[in-house]
Amino acid sequence: MKTRDLVISALLTALAILIPVAFGGYLRVYIPPFSATLASHVPSMLAMLISPWAAVMVGLGSAFGFLLMLGPVIAARALIHVAFGVAGAYLIKKGFSFSKALIAVTPIHALGESLIVLPFGFDLYTAFVVVGIGTVLHHLADSAIAVVLYKAVSNSMSLSRRSS
């Protein structure tokens, strides 16, 4: 991995940890037993643009942040960020646009989070309807945030290159 990519990945990892730790109280939606922290997927989504390894690094950071704040069940759900991030990174490498990759990995994300809560005693309805559908909605909201950020950063980078 190039130094630049490693630094950006480290910054995204720091954000993935910081979002649940520092902003969870403000950005968290809690509908028991489901919880969602707005923007918590954004670092993992942006890491998809760098590489599969970046997606792994950021996804693990996200799981660590949630482990610190909300415990093992939510941390286990956050580990799914690794899976959808790697899948999305490979789709982008194959030529998918960022937006299309985000949409394509939505089922991986929702199904993964639904399945991972079953060993923690969640019933099928709670796992697949509450957690699964909640994850789809949360993924789509965070996808919109990630696309807006990506476009803003891309535009500012192209403007700064023109002025140099």
Instruction: Kindly list the distances between the CA atom of residue 141 and the CA atoms of 106, 117, 123, 144, in Å, as whole numbers in the listed order.
Output: 11, 22, 26, 5
Residues 77-106 have a mean pLDDT of 98
Which CATH number does the domain housing residue 63 bear?
Answer: 1.10.1760.20
**Residue 28: in which H helix or E strand, if any?**
strand 28-31
Answer yes or no: are the C-beta atoms of 52 and 60 closer than 8 Å: no
> Based on the structure, what is the number of domains in the chain?
1
- Residue 53's domain comprises 3-163
Q: Is the pTM of this model over 0.75?
A: yes
Residues 67-92 have a mean pLDDT of 96
pLDDT per residue as tens digits for the range 12-64: 999 999 999 998 788 998 887 788 999 999 999 999 999 999 999 999 999 99
Task: Flag whether pLDDT at 158 surpasses 70.
Answer: no
pLDDT recorded at residue 163: 52
Phi, psi of 14 (to 5 degrees): -60, -40
